[in-house]
Amino acid sequence: MLTEDYKVARLTEFTYTVTVVSSGGNKYAINGNTQQYVILFPGSTYKFDQADSSNNGHPLRFSETSNGTHNSGSEYTTGVTTAGTPGNSGAYTQIEVTSSTPFVLYYYCTNHSGMGGEINIPPNMATPGDRALNAGGESPATSNIDYLTISTTGNATKFGDLIIASFDGINCVGGKTRGFFGGGAQPSGWSDRVMVVDFASKGNCSDFNNLTEARRDVTATGNSIKGIFAGGSNPSNAVTNTIQQFIQSSLGNCIDFGDLTISVKRCAPSQSSTRGLIGGGDTGSATNVIGYITFTTQGNATDFGDLTTATNYLGGNSNSTRGLFGGGNTGSVTNTITYVTIASTGNSTDFGDLTQARQGSNGASNATRCVFMSGQTPTAVNTIDYVTIGSTGDASDFGDLSYSTTSGGGGNSNGHGGLQ
């Protein structure tokens, strides 16, 4: 079980205190939190101190497999040193984390099954990425992917192609190095496919994994470790509230995360490194509801607040502190941009206006800028607008996509809001 109270460390050296507690059997507690989810960062050394007497007979080790050697895995030893006997003064297991350390590790007891938890190690994120992608859409249905550099105004350039033409709410998770395009509709119908590209290298998508169920008009969020797909409509055309998750460094299919506060499609995301927001959308009519999840804690979404106006088919993105929602349809197509402070629940506030009223735009961002790409006015457009996230005011013209598109072509960015 992952706990909501996880520790993030960026010190050169950091010590976790390990104890063993009885919670449906013996479990490791890290700094007092049972089976704590831990994030470690490259360039630091982490000591898991096992001096407490409760550790007697419970040596802590690392593995790339959940539950380690108890689940046919092997012990991970690169950069790892051990000292002493668990339960006695001076006992510890220490790991030096580098850029080569796997993104996902697990801590486990060599003697007993089921005691440990998960460790995530994001890639070095000292500098937020600056590349945005816009993919798919219709008018007509397309597989095209365009890219742009968020910090430099100008027209977008061809990046590559999706595996197949995709539209109607294909949506995207932007990690630090890869972009993940999931769901939507394809010429054969609703899609459960998740496709992946490397931001650094122009080229076509590859297959990555599958959603738990085919979805169109799905919404995507995530941080540098987890990807989330939420809501949308299923092949029976029923609007859903389910949230799905996957680990970006693993090829495993999506699994259940929890449920949104409402069944909804055509929403917009914003996110920090710990929290994902899902705002607005269509429940049968436009809604103003904003819900949020904590990435490290599987479970249902919680109410965050409300948009200024019930809006569907809107775009959104964020930096690490502020989330933006722009455009959409409130009964008519709108140009309104509103914002929230991600760490503080509450209603959105007016930010400014897009250069033109449109619905179905896609948002992407780096640490300072958010771009809104494509949309429908009601005809498909290739417009790209941008705003400076930390201020308020109207959007400015950024440039144009290489193609006009609407109906949910997905956008994402490896800056991912500058999430650190």
- The CATH number of whichever domain residue 65 belongs to comes to 2.60.40.420
Both 232 and 103 in one domain: the answer is no
CA 51 – CA 261 distance, rounded (Å): 44
Give rounded-to-5 percent helix, strand, coil for the chain: 0, 50, 50
- The CATH number of whichever domain residue 383 belongs to comes to 2.120.10.80
Both 198 and 322 in one domain: the answer is yes
Residue 416, pLDDT > 80, answer no
In 3D space, the residue among 278, 314, 318, 311 whose CA is nearest the CA of residue 294 turns out to be: 278
Statement: the pTM of the whole predicted model exceeds 0.75 = no
Q: Can you point out the beta strands (E) in 23-59?
A: 26-30, 33-34, 38-39, 45-49
pLDDT tens figures, 12-70: 688 999 999 998 899 999 999 999 888 888 888 999 999 999 999 999 999 999 999 99
Both 331 and 247 in one domain: the answer is yes
Is the Cα dihedral 62, 63, 69, 70 positive or negative? positive
Both 115 and 156 in one domain: the answer is no
CA 1 – CA 257 distance, rounded (Å): 12
Residue 154 phi/psi, 5-degree rounding, is 150, 175
In-domain check, residue 392: yes
Among 90, 120, 150, the domain-final residue is 120
Name the residue range of residue 116's domain: 7-120
pLDDT tens figures, 229-238: 999 999 999 9
Q: Which tokens hold the place of 178?
A: 């890869």
pLDDT tens figures, 215-254: 999 999 988 788 999 999 999 999 999 999 998 877 789 9
Residue 55 phi/psi, 5-degree rounding, is -80, -5
Instruction: Write out the DSSP string of 65-108.
Output: STTGGGGT--EE-TTEEEES-TTSTT-EEEEE--TTS-SEEEEE
By residue count, the chain amounts to 420
What's the confidence (pLDDT) of residue 415? 58
Residue 275, pLDDT > 80, answer yes
In 3D space, the residue among 367, 377, 368, 374 whose CA is nearest the CA of residue 419 turns out to be: 367
CA 303 – CA 340 distance, rounded (Å): 13
In-domain check, residue 126: no
Q: Which residue has the tokens 């990425």?
A: 129
Integer-rounded Cα radius of gyration of the chain = 22
pLDDT tens figures, 324-362: 999 999 999 999 999 999 999 999 999 999 999 999 999
Percent with pLDDT over 70 in the chain: 92
Spatial contact of 76 and 64, defined as CB atoms under 8 Å apart:
yes
Both 88 and 185 in one domain: the answer is no
In-domain check, residue 1: no
Average pLDDT in the 202-222 region? Answer: 91
Spatial contact of 347 and 305, defined as CB atoms under 8 Å apart:
yes
**N- to C-terminal Cα distance for the chain?**
24
What total of structural domains would you count in the chain? 2
Question: Which residues 6+ apart lie within 8 Å of 43 measured at CB?
Answer: 12, 97, 98, 124
In-domain check, residue 21: yes
Q: Which of left, alpha, beta for 360 (phi over 0: left; psi -120 to 50: alpha)?
A: left
HSE at residue 179, side-chain half, CA atoms within 13 A, is: 35
In-domain check, residue 226: yes
Both 106 and 173 in one domain: the answer is no
Q: Please provide the average confidence, as pLDDT, over all residues in the chain.
A: 88
Both 284 and 404 in one domain: the answer is yes
For the beta carbon of residue 77, count every other beta carbon within 10 angstroms.
12
